[in-house]
Copies of this chain bind each other. A is one copy, B any other.
């Protein structure tokens, strides 16, 4: 709000997508959608129009100073008072202060508040309430409400993430968002019909984060690959002719799998969205079966995609050498605005573990001969003793790639289940055994997600829009690189049971080398295909025209410090110091 940044429109878009680098992001992405999904038609009628016209600016306040992950632990209470037909909102402790909501500190005058609903002395857990925070005219906080900005954080300089406390603040009964559950005037609690009703929205939000991960990787690889084609450093073969750093094997090995991931997440995100769309169609016919299938995968995918993209931005920046640290590169800002995606909308470790529950359940179902979701079909396939690929050409078979990842995912789910069981048999309670097996559970989820992404990619390659086009070959190389680089990264998981043998490791290594070489000549074209404008990239290093150095030089000239040859700070501090030093020396002579 009051601090300045130089984000490109596209970086802003990324930032906006969930939490927002501008004060309306949470208004648009959380406040309005929550009204749409949780408010009754009457409530929507009352608040949606003002919200859409920015007569009210809202935010979504769930997280508290003391609680984020564990929503049942939220301390803010909304106690129903039948005498006045009001809820009394209260923050009993400092840790009950709402903390982090974007736009809460200074901009918003309204808010969806998540608070524990209490009526007739009974605690029904977290529910949502619409609360006016500030006077619509003066913008001063209403009585009993303390609001402010939570202070400076990494990135998001333009967003006033805020805190909020209630001292027995009264709101009318009709401000409880009552589409799913509600309280009657006499204080009876009526619970929601379905507990899966929120799945759809969650999938949609998580698909958004997979797309965001793709977008972040597109920006990162465009900047880093273009720069690596401009940057020349060291001689390789010809004397007096320095090579493009993109010719260094490690540069390729670091950047090309990220390029592949940018495409892979694009397809995976699209698959999730189309899944969600066809769900909406079926839902109208009362069929919500397919929803649960993607719901649990989507938690893991959120974690998997954001984690890989977050690390990828860092890798891409480091691949730019020293200039990667300059704001002229653009990747430090991208990192700052993207990185929180690993934590908000569900902390990644927590998301992986949430997904793992469904995997363990499904394995149990398989062992009992019950049907499982299509996406888990691999759990009931027979286990083969060894990977089928034996000749270099076999590594080009998509079937062999999928088989490899299905085997590994299945084995890791089994291993996690066995670990759980073992800790249980040693006397640990289910909760403790779950915690003791966290590493194995997370490995299983990651393997499951990697398979999901590979399947989305393979489906796309087979689809009408890609199959048979000139783009198919290049995409197929990226698909294979995505897969085999993942194998090399997690090699032990493929080796441990002897499924992949030493000679196959060598085949994979050779294949990766060959893929890097095949992708090299097209690398710049493959990032150009993302069609990111120079404006979106906001990077001297990643410019389309490749005039990196001229642009960096010109950019530096615009640094405000350069307005004066001798800035005030030098006059005030350094010049006296230097004068003193000279005087001391002269007096010594």
Query: CB within 8 Å of B: which residues of A?
Result: 1-2, 23, 49-50, 53-57, 63, 65-70, 73, 94-95, 97, 99-100, 105-107, 109, 136, 138-141, 148-155, 160, 163, 232-237, 242, 247-250, 253, 314, 318, 321-322, 324-328, 332, 339-340, 342-344, 347-349, 429, 431-432, 435-439, 442, 491-492, 495-497, 502, 505, 513, 549-550, 552-553, 555-562, 565-570, 574-575, 577-578, 580-582, 584-585
Contacts and interface: CB of A to CB of B under 8 A. Distances in A.
The listed residue with most B CB atoms (<10 A of its CB), out of A68, A138, A562, is: A562
Contacts of A432: 236-237
Nearest to A430: B237
Tell which of A2, A344, A435 has the most Cβ of chain B within 10 Å: A435
Could you say which of A49, A250, A429 has the most chain B C-beta atoms within 10 Å of its C-beta? A250
Contacts of A502: 496-497
A578 B321 contact: no
A575 B562 CA distance: 36
Contacts of A138: 566
B321 A73 contact: no
B585 A50 contact: yes
B149 A559 contact: yes
A578 B438 contact: no
B151 A439 contact: no
Nearest to A234: B70
A468 B432 CA distance: 35
Contacts of A581: 50, 53-56
A436 B513 CA distance: 8
A412 B139 CA distance: 66
Contact of A325 (B2, B325, B343, B566): B343
A475 B550 CA distance: 53
Contacts of A492: 491-492, 495
A136 B236 contact: no
B328 A569 contact: no
Given A53-B582, A151-B326, 16 more contacts: A68-B321, A94-B550, A107-B570, A109-B578, A139-B565, A139-B566, A141-B565, A152-B559, A235-B431, A236-B432, A237-B432, A250-B442, A318-B348, A322-B340, A325-B340, A495-B495
8 contacts: A55-B584, A73-B242, A148-B559, A149-B556, A151-B327, A163-B553, A248-B438, A318-B342
A202 to B, nearest CB: 18
A53 B342 CA distance: 49
Contacts of A149: 556, 559, 561-562
A73 B234 contact: yes
Contacts of A575: 139
Nearest to A138: B566
Contact of A150 (B95, B97, B556): B556
Nearest to A148: B562
B247 A435 contact: yes
A382 B437 CA distance: 38
A106 B56 contact: no
A64 to B, nearest CB: 10
A414 to B, nearest CB: 15
